[in-house]
């Protein structure tokens, strides 16, 4: 197949919905009620129960969730928020939305590309308002120890749980360690809907703030007015339209039922991948087999041992019909961030970004698919 | 009171719309793909604009329009005081200052071009013209004013898709540098949450598209199709993307939009005919405006706030759902934005108006129920 302009035979991700999902969406559309209604409430309730969190608030996407999480933590101009650079740009961009400064911290290593607690500690200043920990690829970062550190210093801990909707640490769901957890339901995610997100929190005050700000800080919603509960409303702050709508809530509610089954399958596949990839020379497979039972196994990352081969390996795999991606380029090396932080150096993060490749991975992947990816990778890396 | 005899709005969802969404879900591709592109092309054709970029909401459309127009701290943006709050939030998202202006009259409550002119200062950079309730504002006059002062004209078409600015077929959203539309669930073209930015300017369109997806130089869809996996982030962008199921729904519903607007206009005319001679209630706008409007809402005027509130309470008792829009400067958050000279007409219209039920699915019997309820309410207040 041609290298560009066509679909890969083995894509990075592939989503399959089921008959019950279609039914749930169809039924919602036929109801004629499309925004912030009973289905959103039902999904929020189910997701909160799933997490063991007091509140779950459905939002338009994870970027919106991060924005509201930072605002809820009181982040504003002159504040600093410590974030990893080895993550999607939204983790840092949402800090800038608040007028604050993202302070980038290192990851532990290429073997464990999670936020490094000690580096976070070094970067705390009197201006540090919050730390955002990303549970990269669905694997728990040290949220427990970060929580202790943040509590001791009077700093808010925010969890970017975009990759990890059912992962745990010490038996506790990720997203529930910090002041707030920000989830993503983007189309390639473990629990996907298209565009969607959610914020969880145990704080009644933060939940009320987030519910207000997601819908223009209006004191009542269309649904309340439809039910005759209120006649008018006030606007009590600068809010946004960060609402999810009912068809997406219905789809999420339907898919949530199979989340654990999906993740169990992801874990099986990840263990099998790890077994095969362990035989391949010239690559590092991050994390350990022991991490798998508590991970949501969102993607399958590997690191190429040899620096400078990433583009070539990616290109050759693409020629063999295998799509790969880079999770993630270092945020601080993007043009928009180099302009703002010209002299920042994070050697471990930068090396990880230069050598990481994310392999095709989805729950209905077959053993043959995996074998093909690993064989191709071994062949390409050997060259 | 959730079972209204006549709700404020209602939508029809024929099976072809449901099928369009299911077809998309079956494809397994849910974000920024072929359906979004097809919807954008169809929207551009419908509105009569070279570029239409779908976004997550009307609010996001206004935010991106302000960003694309280069508005920022120190800039003033003139916004009518009688509108939904998003019109004024958008300049604030980019650090600019909304300057509230008054509307023309109780019977034509779009922004007053003369009042806009009075509020222009050396800091003014843009005007946001709202086509309220679907009635077109005088954007041709505003275009002239903005050109004379070097200002950007942003049209807030959230309630007005399909409305025409004059007797030609020229639609709202094509006069300003940027037009902002909403596909919220109560709108003439609705998908749940959604929006769109129209512009004739390629650079503005590129800017909107860049900022709606984190200022990334390539999308997931591009990469899926085999483009280079490497991308750059060249500015501080947002996630204001629409997704494919909503694009599929919008595309399917767009085919019936003209028909739906015509049905709304017919209902509005039926209302106007029956209410014209009823003492105690006044009609807003004239026949020319009715012809050009796309009829998001049907507002009528009562004597004063007290009469309006009692009128609404009577209708509610009768199972008729109504609504009204507070003026922005009456909100706690916006009191400080009220100019010293006040906004007397906007204040008065906000106090006096009431929007009666309106949807393309209303039948003659529904209109009768509402009109009867209006008459008996008026007799009792």
Q: pLDDT tens-digit profile of B86-100? A: 999 999 999 999 999
Whether B26 sits inside 8 A of A17 (CB atoms) is yes
pLDDT at B2: 60
pLDDT digits (tens, 9 = 90+) for B55-106: 999 999 999 999 999 999 999 999 999 999 999 999 999 999 999 999 999 9
Q: Per-residue pLDDT for A222 more than 90? A: no
Using an 8 Å CB-CB cutoff, list chain B residues near A314.
229
| 3.40.50.300, 3.40.50.10420, 3.40.640.10, 3.30.565.10: CATH of A19-256 | 3.40.640.10
User: Reduced to 3 states, what is the DSSP secondary structure of residue B279?
Assistant: coil
Mutation for B interface: A235, A251, A329, most B CBs within 10 A: A235
Which residues from A are below 8 Å from B355, CB to CB?
none
CATH 3.10.129.10 fits A259-382, yes or no: no
Domain boundary among B215, B230, B254: B254
- What residues in A contact B333, CB-CB < 8 Å? 217, 235-238
Write out the residue range of the structural domain in which residue B302 sits: 257-380
Residues B116 and B214 grouped into a single domain:
yes
Asked if A29 lies within 8 A of B326 by C-beta distance, the reply is no
Among the partner-chain residues B56, B214, B332, the one whose CB lies closest to the CB of A195 is B56
Helical spans, DSSP H, in A83-192? 90-97, 117-123, 143-153
From B254, B277, B311, the end of a domain falls on B254
Residue among B30, B226, B316 whose CB faces A5 most closely: B226
- Local structure of A40: helix, strand or coil: helix
Cβ–Cβ gap A34/B190 under 8 Å: yes
Each residue's pLDDT tens digit, A305-361: 999 999 999 999 999 999 999 999 999 999 999 999 999 999 999 999 999 999 999
> Which chain A residue is nearest to residue B185, measuring alpha carbons?
A34
- The verdict on B107 and B130 lying in the same domain is yes
Q: Which of residues 96-135 of B touch A (CB under 8 A)?
A: none
Tell me which DSSP letter residue A302 carries. Answer: E
- Among the partner-chain residues A7, A218, A231, the one whose CB lies closest to the CB of B224 is A7
Residue B31 reports pLDDT greater than 70: yes
Helix (H) / strand (E) element for A251: namely helix A246-256
Touching check for B7 and chain A: CB below 8 Å? yes
Residue A130 in contact with partner chain B when CB distance is under 8 A = no
Asked whether residue B190 falls in the same domain as residue B279, the answer is no
Residue B1 lies in a domain: no
What pLDDT shows up at residue B227? 65
Answer whether residue B2 is part of any domain.
Answer: no
Helix (H) or strand (E) holding A300: strand A300-304
Residue where a domain terminates, one of B196, B220, B254: B254
Residues B202 and B316 in one domain: no
- Examine residue B3 and state whether it is found in any structural domain, yes or no: no
Within A131-219, residue ranges assigned H as helices are 143-153, 204-213
Q: What is the DSSP letter of B93?
A: H
B285 in the same domain as B147: no
Gap between the Cα atoms of B28 and B2, Å rounded: 36
Mean pLDDT, range A53-79, rounded to an integer: 98
Q: Which among A48, A100, A39, A59 has a CA at the least distance from the CA of A213? A: A59
Those residues whose C-beta lies under 8 Å from the C-beta of residue A289, and which sit 6 or more positions away, are A271, A274
Of A22, A237, A329, the CB nearest to B333: A237
Residue A363 pLDDT exceeds 60: yes
pLDDT value of residue A266: 98
* B14 in contact with chain A, both atoms CB, cutoff 8 A: no
Q: Verify that B249 and B266 share a domain, yes or no.
A: no
Per-window interface: A 243-282 vs B, CB < 8 A: 243-248, 251
Residue B108 lies in a domain: yes
**A308 contacts chain B (CB < 8 A):** no
Distance CA A287, CA A271 (A): 11
Chain B CB contacts of A14 under 8 Å are 28
What is the number of CB-based contacts under 8 A between chain A and chain B? 204
Q: pLDDT-derived band of residue A379, with 50, 70 and 90 as boundaries?
A: very high
Cβ–Cβ gap B192/A193 under 8 Å: no
Query: Rounded CA gap, A200 and B364, in Å?
Result: 47
What is the 8-class DSSP label of residue B148?
Answer: H
Does residue A192 come out as left (phi exceeding 0), alpha (psi in the -120 to 50 range) or beta?
beta
Q: Do A326 and B332 touch (CB under 8 A)?
A: no
Q: Total domain count for chain B?
A: 2
The predicted-structure confidence for A271-307, as pLDDT tens digits, reads as follows 999 999 999 999 999 999 999 999 999 999 999 999 9
B120 and B154 share a domain? yes
Tell me if chain B has a CB within 8 Å of the CB of A121. Answer: no
Contacts of B28 in chain A (CB under 8 A): 14-17
Helix ranges (H only) for A53-125 are 62-72, 90-97, 117-123
Indicate the length of chain A as a whole number: 383
Q: Do A241 and B86 touch (CB under 8 A)?
A: yes
Instruction: Please provide the size of chain B in residues.
Output: 381
| Yes or no, beta carbons of A93 and B238 under 8 Å apart | yes
Are residues B239 and B276 located together in one domain of the fold? no
Residue B225 has pLDDT above 70, yes or no: no
- Angstroms from B1 CA to nearest CA on chain A: 5
- Domain CATH code at residue B336: 3.90.1150.10
Rounded to 5°, angle at Cα A60 from A56 and A62: 70
Residue of A nearest to B7 (CA): A226
Considering CB atoms only, which of B216, B243, B316 is closest to A194? B243
pLDDT value of position A229: 61
Instruction: Give the HSE-up count for residue B137: Cα atoms under 13 Å, Cβ half-sphere.
Output: 37
Window 204-223 of B: residues touching A by CB (8 A cutoff) are 214-216, 220, 223
Residue A276: count of CB within 10 angstroms of its CB = 18
* Domain annotation covers residue B355: yes
Question: Which residues, listed in sequence order, are joined to residue B129 by a DSSP beta bridge?
Answer: B155
Hey, which bits of chain B come out as E strands? 51-55, 76-80, 97-101, 103-105, 108-111, 124-130, 152-156, 178-182, 195-199, 282-283, 298-301, 353-356
- Are B358 and B282 in a shared domain? yes
B192 and A CB contact within 8 Å: yes
| pLDDT tens-digit series, residues A156-190 | 999 999 999 999 999 999 999 999 999 999 999 99
pLDDT for A5 beyond 60: no
What pLDDT band is residue B230 in, cutting at 50, 70 and 90?
Answer: confident
Q: Which CATH number covers residue B40? A: 3.40.640.10
Do B200 and B304 lie in one domain? The reply is no
Quick one: pLDDT at residue B5?
96
pLDDT tens digits along A7-29: 789 999 999 999 999 999 999 99
B240 near B55, Cβ under 8 Å? yes
Q: Is residue B100 part of a domain?
A: yes
Indicate yes or no: CB of B89 within 8 angstroms of CB of A237.
no
The mean of the pLDDT values for chain A is: 95
- Mean pLDDT on B261-289: 98
Identify the band that residue A220 occupies on the pLDDT scale cut at 50, 70 and 90: confident
Q: Could you tell me if residue B6 is inside a domain? A: no
The answer on B220 and B147 residing in a single domain is yes
| Among A320-324, A369-373, B216-220, B272-276, the least confident range | B216-220
pLDDT band of A223, cuts 50, 70, 90: low
- List the single best residue of B195, B211, B239, B317 to mutate versus A (max A Cβ within 10 A): B239
Is residue B10 situated within a structural domain?
A: no
Mutual angle of helices B364-380 and B305-317, in 10-degree steps: 130
User: How much of chain A exceeds pLDDT 90, in percent?
Assistant: 94
By DSSP bridging, strand B178-182 and strand B152-156 are parallel
Top residue of B194, B229, B248, B335 to mutate, by most chain A CBs within 10 Å, is B229
- Inter-chain CB proximity B238 and A63 less than 8 Å: yes
Chain A interface disruption, residue of B193, B231, B314, most A CBs within 10 A:
B193
- B249–A8 C-beta distance less than 8 A: no
Rounded distance between C-alpha atoms, residue B305 and residue B282, angstroms: 14
Do residues B97 and B222 both lie within one domain? yes
């Amino acid at each position: 197949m041609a290298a560009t302009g066509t679909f890969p035979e083995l894509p990075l991700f592939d989503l399959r919905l089921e008959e019950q999902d279609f039914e749930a969406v169809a039924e919602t559309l036929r109801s004629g009620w499309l925004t912030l209604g009973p289905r959103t409430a039902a999904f929020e309730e189910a997701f909160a129960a799933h997490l063991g969190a007091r509140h779950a608030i459905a939002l338009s996407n994870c970027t919106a969730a991060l924005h509201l999480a930072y605002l809820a933590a009181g982040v504003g101009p002159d504040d600093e928020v410590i974030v990893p650079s080895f993550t999607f740009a939204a983790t840092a961009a949402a800090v800038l939305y608040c007028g604050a400064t993202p302070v980038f911290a290192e990851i532990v290593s290429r073997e464990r590309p999670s936020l490094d607690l000690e580096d976070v500690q070094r970067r705390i200043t009197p201006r540090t308002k919050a730390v955002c920990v990303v549970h990269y690829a669905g694997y728990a970062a040290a949220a427990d120890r970060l929580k202790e550190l943040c509590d001791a210093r009077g700093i808010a801990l925010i969890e970017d749980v975009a990759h990890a909707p059912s992962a745990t640490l010490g038996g506790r769901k990720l997203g529930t360690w910090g002041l707030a957890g920000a989830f993503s339901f983007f189309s390639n995610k473990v629990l996907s809907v298209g565009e969607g997100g959610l914020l969880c929190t145990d704080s009644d005050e933060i939940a009320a703030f987030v519910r207000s700000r997601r819908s223009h800080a209006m004191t009542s919603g269309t649904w309340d007015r439809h039910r005759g509960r209120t006649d008018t409303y006030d606007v009590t702050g600068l809010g946004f339209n960060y609402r999810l709508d009912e068809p997406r809530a219905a789809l999420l509610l339907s898919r949530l039922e199979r989340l654990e089954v999906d993740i169990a399958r992801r874990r099986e596949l990840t263990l099998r991948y790890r077994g095969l990839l362990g035989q391949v020379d010239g690559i590092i497979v991050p994390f350990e087999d022991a991490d798998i039972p508590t991970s949501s196994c969102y993607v399958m990352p590997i690191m190429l041992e040899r620096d400078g081969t990433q583009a070539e390996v990616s290109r050759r795999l693409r020629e063999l019909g295998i799509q790969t991606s880079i999770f993630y380029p270092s945020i601080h090396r993007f043009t928009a961030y180099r302009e703002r932080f010209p002299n920042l150096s994070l050697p471990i993060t930068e090396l990880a970004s230069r050598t990481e490749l994310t392999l095709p991975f989805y729950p209905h992947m077959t053993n043959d698919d995996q074998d093909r990816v690993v064989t191709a990778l071994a062949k390409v890396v050997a060259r | 009171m959730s079972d209204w005899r006549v709700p404020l709005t209602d939508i029809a969802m024929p099976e072809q719309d449901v099928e369009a969404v299911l077809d998309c879900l079956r494809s397994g591709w849910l974000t920024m793909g072929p359906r979004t592109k097809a919807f954008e092309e169809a929207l551009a054709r419908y509105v009569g604009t070279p570029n239409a970029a779908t976004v997550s909401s009307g609010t996001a459309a206004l935010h991106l329009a302000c960003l694309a127009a280069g508005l920022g701290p120190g800039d003033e943006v003139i916004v009518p005081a009688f509108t939904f709050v998003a019109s004024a939030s958008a300049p604030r998202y980019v650090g600019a200052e909304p300057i509230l202006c008054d509307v023309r009259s109780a019977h034509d409550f779009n922004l007053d071009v003369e009042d806009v002119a009075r509020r222009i200062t050396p800091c003014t950079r843009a005007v946001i013209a709202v086509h309220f309730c679907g009635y077109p504002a005088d954007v041709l006059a505003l275009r002239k004013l903005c050109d004379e002062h070097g200002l950007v004209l942003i049209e807030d078409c959230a309630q007005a898709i399909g409305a025409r600015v004059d007797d030609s077929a020229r639609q709202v959203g094509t006069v300003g540098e940027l037009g902002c539309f909403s596909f919220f669930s109560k709108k003439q073209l609705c998908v749940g949450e959604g929006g769109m930015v129209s512009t004739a300017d390629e650079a503005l369109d590129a800017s909107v598209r860049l900022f709606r997806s984190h200022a990334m130089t390539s999308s997931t869809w591009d990469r899926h199709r085999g483009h280079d996996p490497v991308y750059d982030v060249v500015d501080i962008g947002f996630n204001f993307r629409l997704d494919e199921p909503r694009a599929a729904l919008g595309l399917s519903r767009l085919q019936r939009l003209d028909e739906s607007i015509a049905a709304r206009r017919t209902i509005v005319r039926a209302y106007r005919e029956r209410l014209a001679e009823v003492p105690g209630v006044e009609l807003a706008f004239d026949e020319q405006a009715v012809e050009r409007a796309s009829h998001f809402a049907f507002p009528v005027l009562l004597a004063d706030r007290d009469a309006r509130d009692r009128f609404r309470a009577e209708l509610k008792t009768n199972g008729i759902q109504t609504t009204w829009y507070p003026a922005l400067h009456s909100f706690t958050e916006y009191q400080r934005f009220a100019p010293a000279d006040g906004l007397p007409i906007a204040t008065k219209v906000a106090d006096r108006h009431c929007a009666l039920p309106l949807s393309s699915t209303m039948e003659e019997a529904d209109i009768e129920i509402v009109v009867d309820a209006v008459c008996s309410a008026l007799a009792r207040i």
